[in-house]
C-alpha cells in the first residue's frame, strides 16, 4: 500500500501506485497519476492532469500542475508529464500547458529542477536537463538533452536550446542557442562550444574538431551568414554533429538565432580539446 502521511490530502480519483510515499501536508489532486516509487515531500502540491513517471521525487513546497500564468487560460484540461527519475527540488514550480501551445508541459527522464526554478506553461524539456537554482523559463521554451542552465538565468518564451548546450549563470537568453553551444551574459551571446561537456559525454576528437571548425566558419567568419552557412553545408554537411547544428539553424524559429559575442580564447579551447 502507498505510504501516505495522515495529514496529506489525496483527492478521490487520484491514481497512486503501491510504492508511492506522500509526506506531511502534501496535496494531490483528483486527476494526478503517480507512478511506482514516486516520492512527494511535505507541503508539496500536485494538481491538474499531471502524470509523474517511475521514481520521480517532488521535494517540500514544490508545486506541479497548477494553472499556467496565461490570461487566456480558462480552465481547460491541459497537462503536465514528468519522466522517470526526475527530481523537482524545494519551492520549484512546473505549470501545466495552455490552449495556445501543445496543451502539455513535458519534462523528460532524469532531469534535475533545483530550488525555486520555474518551468512555464508548454515548456518541453528533454532528458537529463539541469536547471540550477532560480532559473526562470518563460512559456513554450524547448530544451534538448543534457543541457545545463546556470543559476539565476532567465530564458525568454519560445526560445530553443539545442542539446548538450551550457548556459552561464545570471544570463538573459532571448535567442535560440545552437546544439553544443555555450553562452552567457545579459543579454546572452555565444562564447564558443561546450567543450568540457562534449569531452565528458564521450565525443571524440574528430567530432569536436569538426564542430570547432564549423563554429568558427558560422559565427566568426567573414561575409554574410547565409554565405557562411552554404560553405559549411558544402564542406562539412555530412558530419553528424555539424549536420545537427545546421538542421537546428534551418528549423523554424520564433526568436531568431543567438550570435557570437566575442572571440573564443584559442588557448583555452585548445587545452579543453
Distances 171 to 56, 101, 147, 208, 259 between C-alpha atoms, Å: 28, 25, 15, 25, 15
Taken in order 168, 173, 175, 176, the sign of the CA dihedral is positive
Grid coordinates representing 232?
559549411
Question: Is-contact 177 161, C-beta < 8 A?
Answer: yes
Residues contacting residue 153 through CB under 8 Å, at least 6 positions apart: 132, 135, 136, 167, 168, 169, 170, 171, 172, 173
Catalytic residues, by residue number, are 121-122, 139
Q: What is the pLDDT of residue 200?
A: 96
How far is Cα 189 from Cα 174, in angstroms, rounded to an integer?
9
Q: What is the pLDDT of residue 261?
A: 86
Distances 258 to 19, 44, 159 between C-alpha atoms, Å: 45, 37, 10
Q: What is the pLDDT of residue 262?
A: 56
The pTM for the full model equals 0.94
pLDDT in tens, the chain (273 residues): 999 999 999 999 999 999 999 999 999 999 999 999 999 999 999 999 999 999 999 999 999 999 999 999 999 999 999 999 999 999 999 999 999 999 999 999 999 999 999 999 999 999 999 999 999 999 999 999 999 999 999 999 999 999 999 999 999 999 999 999 999 999 999 999 999 999 999 999 999 999 999 999 999 999 999 999 999 999 999 999 999 999 999 998 999 999 998 544 443 444 443
Q: What is the pLDDT of residue 156?
A: 98
How far is Cα 11 from Cα 31, in angstroms, rounded to an integer?
8
> What is the CB neighbour count within 10 angstroms for residue 202?
7
Amino acid at each position: 500500500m502507498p505510504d501516505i502521511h495522515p495529514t496529506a490530502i489525496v483527492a478521490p480519483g487520484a491514481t497512486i501506485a503501491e510504492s508511492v510515499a506522500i509526506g506531511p501536508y502534501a496535496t494531490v489532486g483528483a486527476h494526478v497519476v503517480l507512478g511506482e516509487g514516486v516520492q512527494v515531500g511535505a507541503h508539496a502540491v500536485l494538481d491538474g492532469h499531471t502524470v509523474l513517471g517511475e521514481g520521480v521525487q517532488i521535494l517540500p513546497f514544490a508545486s506541479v500542475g497548477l494553472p499556467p500564468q496565461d490570461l487566456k487560460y480558462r480552465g481547460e484540461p491541459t497537462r503536465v508529464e514528468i519522466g522517470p527519475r526526475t527530481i523537482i527540488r524545494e519551492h520549484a514550480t512546473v505549470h501545466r500547458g495552455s490552449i495556445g501551445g501543445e496543451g502539455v508541459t513535458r519534462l523528460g527522464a532524469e532531469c534535475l529542477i533545483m530550488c525555486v526554478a520555474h518551468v512555464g506553461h508548454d515548456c518541453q524539456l528533454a532528458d537529463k536537463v539541469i536547471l540550477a537554482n532560480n532559473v526562470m523559463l518563460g512559456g513554450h521554451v524547448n530544451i534538448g538533452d543534457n543541457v545545463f542552465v546556470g543559476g539565476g538565468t532567465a530564458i525568454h518564451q519560445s526560445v530553443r536550446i539545442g542539446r548538450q548546450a551550457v548556459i552561464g549563470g545570471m544570463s538573459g537568453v532571448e535567442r535560440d542557442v545552437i546544439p553544443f553551444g555555450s553562452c552567457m551574459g545579459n543579454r546572452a551571446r555565444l562564447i564558443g562550444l561546450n567543450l568540457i561537456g562534449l569531452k565528458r559525454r564521450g565525443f571524440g576528437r574528430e567530432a569536436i574538431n569538426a564542430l570547432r571548425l564549423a563554429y568558427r566558419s558560422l559565427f566568426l567568419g567573414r561575409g554574410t551568414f547565409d554565405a557562411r552557412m552554404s560553405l559549411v553545408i558544402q564542406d562539412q554537411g555530412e558530419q553528424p554533429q555539424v549536420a545537427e547544428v545546421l538542421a537546428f539553424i534551418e528549423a523554424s524559429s520564433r526568436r531568431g538565432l543567438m550570435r557570437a559575442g566575442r572571440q573564443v580564447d584559442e588557448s583555452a579551447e585548445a587545452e579543453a580539446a
